[in-house]
Amino acid sequence: RQAAQVLSDVTRYTSIVTAPQAAKLRIKRLQVVPVSPGVGLMVIVTDSGIVRDTMINYSAALEPDHLYMISKMLTDKLQDLPLDRLRPALAEMQERLRDHNGLFDALMNAADVAADTTSPDDMVIGGPTNMLEYPEYSDVDKARVVLRALENRDVLAHMLRGSARMEFTVRIGPENNVPEMQDCSLVTATYRIGDNNVGTIGIIGPTRMNYGKVIAVLDYMGKSLSDILSGR
């Protein structure tokens, strides 16, 4: 949210920032914390400090001390693994967890939840009304169409599709593949955690936007986010 606000304030355009893609985060620690007999909280701490947690059920006969030992073993085996590799890695440890089938099944189900990819709801929009400052959108009907598109996160997610694989993208007018935004341009950059691109930051503005300034600001913000999330 802070990144989106800063981007929109500095550029006076509309900004988009996506949350880190969970599947690209790497596991730093995995622990099952007992909450009540047979119920625990699986907590995954990632290399960015982002935490994924899921409630799980297992045999009430499993003692907290034993659960701690299992958690330590899982951390030793899974540390530095991307979240999208969690499920197959757990499957390879099924033999070691064969005496705890209830726990194993619960961990496998929780792995799917933990590695869910970022949805349109994990997107923050900054300064949507900044677009109204430009003469291109002085026409009320035209401005209404653009603002409606900016409120539709599925439309924005479609615009960003493929951007996370490239350091920078520039899509001018019809190149953004959204008819309602054919008079707008989208410039994006990525931010990283370690060696992986995990999220996208972008600027939407009129096609005559100051591309040099926008790219410079996105480059700086992307590097800053990467440094913060990588603990530098």
**What pLDDT was estimated at residue 17?**
92
- What residue ranges of the chain have pLDDT lower than 50? 118
CA distance 69 to 65: 6
CA distance 86 to 187: 33
Q: What tens digit of pLDDT does each residue of 109-145 get?
A: 888 767 655 455 578 899 999 989 999 888 888 889 8
- Residue 43: which of 75, 73, 65 has the closest Cα? 75
**What pLDDT was estimated at residue 108?**
85
Burial 19-52 (b: 16+ CB within 10 A, else e): ebbbbbbbbbebbbebeeeeebebbbbbbbebeb
Provide the sign of the torsion angle of the four alpha carbons 95, 86, 119, 177, taken in this order: negative
**What pLDDT was estimated at residue 120?**
53
CA distance 3 to 9: 10
**What pLDDT was estimated at residue 22?**
66
